[in-house]
A and B are shown apart, each in its own frame.
Chain A
Amino acid sequence: MVLTGAEIVIRCLQEEKVEYVFGYPGGSVLFIYDELFKQDKVRHVLVRHEQGAVHAADGYARSTEKVGVALVTSGPGVTNAVTGIATAYMDSIPMVIISGQVPTAYIGQDAFQEVDTVGITRPCVKHNYLVKDVRDLAETIKKAFYLAKSGRPGPVLVDIPKDISAAKCEYAYPKSVAMRSYNPVIKGHQGQIKKAVQLLLEARRPMVYTGGGVVLSEAAEKLIKLVRQLGFPVTNTLMGLGGYPATDKQFVGMLGMHGTYEANMAMQHCDVLLAVGARFDDRVIGNPEHFAEVPRKIIHIDIDPSSISKRVKVDVPIVGDLPEVLEDIAKLLAASGDRPDEKALKAWWKQIDEWRTKDCLKYDRKSKIIKPQFVVEKLYEVTKGEAFVCSDVGQHQMWAAQYYKFDKPRRWMNSGGLGTMGFGLPAAMGVQLAHPGAPVACVTGEGSIQMCIQELSTCKQYRLPLKVILLNNGYLGMVRQWQQLFHGNRYSESYVDALPDFVKLAEAYGHVGMRIEKPGDVEGALKEAFKRKDDLVFMNFAIDPTENVYPMVQGGKGLTEMILSEEL
């Protein structure tokens, strides 16, 4: 059947069972929007800024197993989308971004709304394409979805010039794609897996360290099984939260710059480390030289070979898909009939329990000013740990990660890699659309929320009953914290004067606004907000402006060189 390029785009999205496209129209995507208009299978969500479109598609993808889709116009549409694309790239989120481009004949002529999209996005996509012939369009879109989802996932961009979306050709959607240059390894090397099992059995102070890969590859179930089988302590990175249940007794908390005392101590002092879908980044292990001071054997499982031995040299690299490899390890372990040294393991747990007594997340519960940690704890209680929590970037992000106990994967959405302020609200929109009726919270700060606050309007249009938990301390809190600790209390440009009245602002957008000033009102307000199932409730919590995030490992310092709360 002969179709136009624009018709082909929509057909392909239908074939891929795309529910939602997040986008913003413009000149070079008009043909595609015209075709969107003529059908109702693929629903379009009109955002207020292209950054919001990409974050919303990203949030949708993070909270499901599906590929998020965004549609933007050429030029500024694309440049606005870049922050969102880079955010998804850093966290390996499967997405397809379709962008319009000026007509083929105009490319390179500095045409109106022309930008070198493929060039600008090249370093922050898994791959990108400029479609120069309408006959390549269907196959290119098929490839884009395949690449986005397979191997180490990531965003893939397809740039479509306007004349290509108008041109016609015979259409058939390819059933599958094969690329001689792209074949991700799925099955782990059996010899390496044997070595890994041997090391795990010989361990006296073992540690399991897992990252976002566990969530992305749907490996949580297999991980839990293996960790329980071994009886080892386990920690999650910021991106890996929910990959192992936070309320389980073998869980020692998040590790890293704001990780728990016990997680960081155990990570540093273990003798065998099993790293699963994590990448030893600077916010996780601090200074790699300090980390290497304690000798330990490292097993590293990851689908991306370039993540292995990048910052930390490992002893047993295993490239493969996590569920497969974890299953193989568990099987081999069971077949061996051996057990790790019980006595040594007991002594190790005793040591960890001793570290736990530090109670490193303690804070002043008697405070007359609202403590942010208290708000997150109450949020956890009120939602019974069942909410989808999206965060922005800063202190509130760390408090949410530390105090909301995630027991399931895909419940915690945050920009861990790029650290994008403005991520939370649009991401929460994508999550809410993917999970209608589910409680979705956006934990944010007064700095971050203002970076994409225009999306409150989108929330109204699509009746998205998000709960915005604004931890308002009047400062760019994380910046202020660093300035206090490392820049002699010189608060250069971190105080945000002239904040809007957020209650009125929420109301102006047609939502419910609340201001909460006393600790005694926190729980009641949260309960009321979550009772309002049809309303977006914007909760402005006036929190202690001087509160800091602890424990803290200063950038460049060793993992165990933690600054602890003055409460301790």
Chain B
Amino acid sequence: MRHVISLLIENEAGALSRVSGLFSARAYNIESLTVAPTEDPSMSRMTIVSVGSDDIIEQITKQLNKLIEVVKVVDISEAAHIERELMLVKVRATGKDREEMKRMSDIFRGRIIDVTESTYVIELTGNTAKLDSFIEAIDRSLILETVRTGVCGIGRGDRVLKV
């Protein structure tokens, strides 16, 4: 099962390596990991997407909690939540492809944020499946490069991850 784990961690040097090191040392999966400071600069928030059985996910959350600098851990995928990922795609856009690429970007509610005579950079946000669908939908041979942030997530409604 796929899980989205959110955690708050002290914004200190090496904190990220403690988390990533834990995953590799205990052979847990990481599908994606994002991290940035929160509105309180002394703390960072991390979103980790991992795949594993319930037992493994339980161990992952316990092991994360055990890290001294981790303040709080929540598996936000246990309840209603929102996931977003940002992707930038640089595509070749010449001749008839130029119009087609613009059209696909519009359909996926993307934005073209850089334009040259032969290329576009398209900015797209959404959940992982939506970004995957966009890649599937356009002509692969036109993709010059892609970059994705990985998932960040937040609980719906009153559920709040805070100290």
Contacts and interface: CB of A to CB of B under 8 A. Distances in A.
B68 A182 contact: yes
Contacts of A122: 14, 17-18, 21
Contact of A180 (B25, B55, B65, B163): B163
B18 A306 contact: no
Contacts of B71: 180-181
Interface in B6-25: 9-10, 13-14, 17-18, 21, 25
Interface of B is mostly: helix
A309 B61 CA distance: 13
A118 B14 contact: yes
Nearest to A307: B62
A180 B70 CA distance: 9
Contacts of A178: none
Nearest to B163: A180
Given A305-B62, A306-B59, A306-B62, A147 B68 contact: yes
A444 to B, nearest CB: 31
Contact of A130 (B13, B21, B25, B65): B13
B67 to A, nearest CB: 8
Interface in B48-62: 55, 58-59, 62
Greatest chain A CB density within 10 A among B14, B65, B68, B70 is at: B68
B13 A305 contact: no
Contacts of B149: none
A161 to B, nearest CB: 13
B21 A123 contact: yes
Contacts, number: 39
Given A122-B18, A309-B55, A309-B58, A181 B70 contact: yes
B128 to A, nearest CB: 29
A179 interface: yes
Contact of A306 (B13, B63, B69, B70): B63
Contact of B25 (A123, A127, A132): A123
Number of chain A interface residues as a range: 10 to 19
A126 interface: yes
Contacts of A119: 14, 17
A310 interface: yes
Contacts of B96: none
Interface in A295-322: 304-306, 309-310, 313
Contacts of A180: 71, 163
Contact of A127 (B62, B65, B68): B68
A309 B59 CA distance: 8
B140 interface: no
Interface in A305-358: 305-306, 309-310, 313
Given A126-B68, A305-B62, A306-B63, A181 B21 contact: no
A528 B62 CA distance: 53
Contacts of A182: 68
Contact of B66 (A118, A179, A304, A313): A304
Nearest to A308: B62
Interface of A: 118-119, 122-123, 126-127, 130, 132, 147, 179-182, 304-306, 309-310, 313
Interface pairs A-B: 8 shortest CB-CB: A306-B62, A127-B68, A181-B71, A123-B25, A305-B62, A306-B66, A306-B63, A182-B68
Given A306-B59, A306-B62, 12 more contacts: A119-B17, A122-B14, A122-B18, A122-B21, A126-B68, A130-B13, A130-B14, A132-B13, A180-B163, A306-B65, A306-B66, A313-B55
28 contacts: A118-B14, A119-B14, A119-B17, A122-B14, A122-B17, A122-B18, A123-B21, A123-B25, A127-B68, A130-B14, A179-B68, A180-B71, A181-B9, A181-B10, A181-B68, A181-B69, A181-B70, A304-B66, A305-B62, A305-B66, A306-B59, A306-B62, A306-B63, A306-B65, A306-B66, A309-B58, A310-B59, A313-B55
